[in-house]
Amino acid sequence: MIVLEILVILGCLLVGTRYGGMGLGLIGGVGLFILTFVFHIAPGVPPIDVMLTILAVIGCASVLQTAGGLNVMMQCAEKVLRRHPAFITVLAPVTTWTLTFLCGTGHVVYTMFPIIYDIAIKQNIRPERPMAVASVASQMGICASPVSVAAVSMVSILAAAHGVGKPIGVVELLSISIPASFCGVVMAALWSMRRGKPLDKDPDFQAKLKDPEAKAYIYGESQTLLNKVFPKEAYWATWIFFAAIALVVILGSSESFRPWFGTPGKMKALSMTYVIQMLMLVAGAIMLIVCKVKPQEVPNGNVFKAGAVAIISVFGIAWMADSFFAAHMKEIKASLSDVVKIYPWTYAIVMFLTSKFVNSQAAALAAIAPLGVSLGVDPKIMVAFFPAIYGYFVLPTYPSDLACIGFDRSGTTKIGKFIINHSFIIPGFIGVATGCVVGYILVSVFW
């Protein structure tokens, strides 16, 4: 029966992947229905905290985008890139990683792709080199952001777990994930500097240049935000958002900064999950009022739409997975607990593969991290291997990767004939592997 149930779950994941994040969540609901009504498995607990956190963060980020704050950040990033165009292959991924770190979502990268392409092609640099690793870096920044759904979810899941005599909070998690993921990005960027043939030695590219129309399309018009003038409200929104992020870090650094509730002897500090939800709502409200944002325009941005898809995806997949794991926890513990304790890196592999299946870091975390806690995986190991939640680069089906291919008019960023040999796979493996290794070293040395 367990084998049949696993086949149902895998079938739903495979079918759902064909329809993207929204389809993945809905078809996950189909799997839950089959597990409940056919196999008589009691439904588990939906990931309410994760979903509400996504809602709060996306609500704030969507108001920021509508107010023009995201464009302000993009303009600053472009200034850095155009000031040092020869180093675009390293600066582009560092920039996209930083934007994700600040905003909590990798979907901010779309505006940067045409700018990165324009700088690369004008410098006669193979666009694949900076563009592919920039797409990878934008997703790796998620585990480093204090306002990302994945980081907040991880803190929530590990709230009751202990590292070295103290709970693992936002600051403890970020002290490992920020340098680990950043080192991964830098290593992937350094490798990318010499990937592929230079444009003047690439026969396919040179053949395209022989067609005047193709040449005009490849070099085209410059894409830039430098000549854009934004209203003062856009800058206000940016600083309000940064202030909210700073408060998240400050309040997460010590429980003494947060209110305590409960009865004498059983007092507990307010959960950081609630703190982040509150601060995101407050920041969004302040931006809405002070920056004169039209509420009816907020749902029209791509950040809001991506967030809505993420909520549905997490809802269906995580609920289905939780139901299965809750029903068979005894069997799972008996068969896997010793393996995971002896070979803790197997937890990272499971997380990595799950991320590929569900195409979402938050959904993979919601499904696998609680299982890791139940199996007795050392919380320090879970933090060390946090970068492993990014595994959906293995197949080039994620929106940011597809958008990256579309924005590269030279055709150097592409999917190979065997599907698996695409532009993102080697930078992705280098970034994640380096992140996990650095995370493990940092945890071993400092914790």
Q: What is the pLDDT of residues 158-191, one digit of tens each?
A: 875 654 445 677 888 999 999 999 999 999 999 9
Mean of the pLDDT values across residues 288-313? 85
**Each residue's pLDDT tens digit, 389-420:** 999 898 776 778 877 888 888 989 988 777 78
- Residue 210 binned pLDDT confidence (cut-offs 50, 70, 90): very high
The model carries a pTM of 0.75
- Residue 25 binned pLDDT confidence (cut-offs 50, 70, 90): confident
- What per-residue confidence (pLDDT) applies to 445? 92
Contact 153, 366 (CB under 8 A): yes
Residues of the chain with pLDDT > 90: what percent? Answer: 39
- What per-residue confidence (pLDDT) applies to 261? 92
pLDDT at 63 over 50: yes
Q: How far is CA 295 from the centre of its chain?
A: 26
Greatest mean pLDDT range, 155-164, 262-271, 308-317, 397-406:
262-271
Averaged pLDDT score across all residues of the chain: 86
Residues comprising the chain, all counted = 447
Integer CA distances (angstroms), 323 to 42, 47, 303, 326, in order: 7, 11, 30, 5
Higher per-residue confidence, 394 vs 322: 394
Q: Give ∠ CA 195-201-207 in degrees, rounded to 5.
A: 115
Q: Give ∠ CA 283-60-359 in degrees, rounded to 5.
A: 145
pLDDT at 425 over 90: yes
- What per-residue confidence (pLDDT) applies to 154? 87
Mean of the pLDDT values across residues 349-366? 80
Q: How far is CA 209 from the centre of its chain?
A: 37
| Straight-line distance from the first to the last Cα atom of the chain, in angstroms, rounded to the nearest whole number | 42
**Each residue's pLDDT tens digit, 79-114:** 988 899 999 999 999 999 998 898 777 766 777 888
- Find where tokens 């856009």 sit: 234
Pairwise CA distance, residues 168 & 165, whole Å: 9
- What per-residue confidence (pLDDT) applies to 126? 96
